[in-house]
Structure 1
Amino acid sequence: MKLSYQVGQKPLWSQLYDILEMRILSGEYKEGDTLPSEVAIMQEFDVSRITVRQAMDKLIQAQLISRQRGKGTVVLKYKNKVTTAFQSSFQEVKEKNQLKDRQVIAVESVKAPSEVAYFFDIPTSDSVIKLTRQTFINEEVVACYETYLHPLVPLTVQDDFKGSLYTKLEIASYPITNVMEKISAALISTQEKKIFSIEQDEAVMHRIRMGYSHDLAIEYTYATYLARGYELIIDLK
């Protein structure tokens, strides 16, 4: 597997870190496992030793791995159970009884984007369901979501996706049993300005949610929130 050298992509070490982190958090590399050698990782991803070491150093800082004499690089126990939630505070919605609504914008069959194909462990030539939804407050778009479902999930573009997606997955015998999330902040892009129908620069929050049904990766959601109207709550247990 090769990393992306396209302009605008993350540095190679950061891309490599993301992949190795996903393998650890998803359980592909389990506690106590020894990671492949630097040379093996260099060959798998076609990168330099410096790139591998930068990614490894970041994993050590995140307390996901440890270099142990005589054993190599070992996966550590992932200690914290983290619960996250985005809570809307747009103009005190509840207090002012404003209309908050999540709408299904589109349901379509598309070729799996590279990051989705990698997460699902399927070829990019495979088709997946893409569900596009938006949250409105008084007809203003405040959040948008793009969700991809694994081809094994017995749902079609003709199904009604109103209401809870997770309830629908549970009924389809693919309940979400655990998730992994990655959250970041950024300045709104030109494309996102079109989605939110705004012209000014402002901050947005990006949230990637990867859902598993037991050991099978079945849901990949990329969400964008207007930062001025949401707060992130993290519960560490």
Structure 2
Amino acid sequence: MFALTKPLYEVLYENIKKDIMSGVYKEGDRVPSEKELSEQYDVSRITTKKALEMLAGEGLIVRQPGRGSFVKQNSSDEEKGPELVESLSKEEKRTPLMIGLVITDFDDSYGTALISSIEKCTTEHSCFLILRRSFGISDIEEKAIRELVELGVDGLIVFPAQAEYFSEEILKLVLNKFPLVLVDRHLKGISTASVSTDNVGAARKGTEYLLELGHRHIGLLTPPPNDTTALEDRIEGFVQAHAEKGVIVDRDLWINNITSTLPNSFRPPNIRHDIDKIKKHLIDHPTITALFAAEYYIALMANEAVKELGMRVPEDVSIMCFDSPPTHIGEFQLTYLAQDQEKMGQKVFDILLKLRNKEDQAVVPKRVLLDANLVIGNSTAPVTIKK
């Protein structure tokens, strides 16, 4: 069994509590301030603040703005008056939660709205939100998780790095039943909470739309799936839609090795290589009338490849994808599947609070799937029979 390091704020809390109980600090004595404790223990002010708030919540100290924190004097409570005592009691019991968020990266196409939603929820509940980006690198992700746990976060929201396996740090959290919610992916064979789009249903919805437009030769463009559940589900939805419409899936029309959109790979040489790859694919498979991109930036590369071949979108080739940033009036807009990032953020935060509060596990959902909305833009049209 893996063991988690005790949060620093708990160590600090226990040390001060021990000093109070042993008489090092007597009733009415001032205990060190957040700044003094921070310097003494070489920790952050957030850590010392949380430790002092825990002591106040337990009724061991009284925090007085502008003066400091003092060991509580029970004998003087009556002199303070019932209103002041009640006010101090409520203040002492408020210990803001710290929520850690580890995400690969984000931009306007996906991630920004999700973070905004989570941030809104934490603000409404007076929580601290600490954000770390992993850039899709497992080592950075593991380091970020370790640091946040050591800092003393009360729960973690993790958008796992795109890899063939989940990091050891995530597995530690799961095995130790630490409050954790995964976003966009789920652990196969391991019971942990996750919130994501219904990628099977969304891909099926998008593919059905293309099939209804008359497209029968649809190229599917994806990065290497590599056991990434979101991509596997999108491929499954694509296949299901064909089966339901009685259309044979031609896997020769797929490209499943687009690599420039992988974390840390979005560079001009890699992008150019993938555009050329799509161009060659269209030349080698002239029957293709539509391309379904698993990601927004792959759709942009497909659009460029079509244009460089002297063809038009959507007259010669229709293109659709998952996700797209907001567009302004008059701009070209891709047809895309919009994930409900606002609702996703709300669900993630709600489940994390339930796990943190140790609510009945039977009523805490393990896997939440959200519908995606089909947004029809300028990049798709009924099929045109090629001469």
Q: Which of the five TM-score ranges fits, normalised by the shorter chain? A: under 0.3
Q: Please give the TM-score of this superposition, normalised by the length of structure 2.
A: 0.20
Q: Which has the higher strand share?
A: 1
Q: Please give the TM-score of this superposition, normalised by the length of structure 1.
A: 0.27
